[in-house]
Structure 1
């Protein structure tokens, strides 16, 4: 499934999702040199991604424009996972 890249969080319709979250990755293999927020539904990744130059920009979006809470990665998570906004 091809990724749907969005420019802004307001372009994402989450109304039908029961447990949306966003995993934040720094320099993932599919987007080298970028910082990516991938929308998850429960524990399943979707094809929706928000791409920015750095993690600070992504954190700013979620902190300032959503009611989500940030959780740091757990032991055993991928090395490029910065954390999850839920």
Structure 2
């Protein structure tokens, strides 16, 4: 995983054009942030150190930028993954 996470308040803080293909992966209660929902920015399949935390899935979804599209989780995904946004 990432050595030093940077917790952001909004994805507007990040210049998404700096990434080849930005993805946002949403996790429910990951080991390092129990009882929280975490949205981590990825560049293709590589996690970045940027993440956003909220107490509910609905509050995470409100933070996803409009240009992203929802992708439901697949059986191959980590069990903590709720959904991905592309």
- Normalised by the length of structure 2, the TM-score is 0.91
CA distance in 2, matches of 1:5, 1:12: 11
CA shift for structure 1 position 9: 1.4
- Equivalenced residue count is 84
CA distance in 2, matches of 1:61, 1:3: 18
Matches within 5 A, 1:14-33: 14-33=16-35
After the TM superposition, which residues 32-71 of structure 1 pair with which residues of structure 2 at under 5 Å, given as runs?
A: 32-62=34-64, 65-71=65-71
Query: For 2:17 and 2:68, how far apart are their aligned partners in 1?
Result: 15
**Normalised TM-score (structure 1):** 0.91
Task: Kindly report the root-mean-square deviation, in angstroms, between the aligned alpha carbons of the 2 structures.
Answer: 1.0
Aligned pairs for 1:4-19 (under 5 A) are 4-19=6-21
Between the aligned partners of 1:21 and 1:73, the Cα distance in structure 2 is 13
- Partner-residue secondary structure (3-state), 2:18: coil
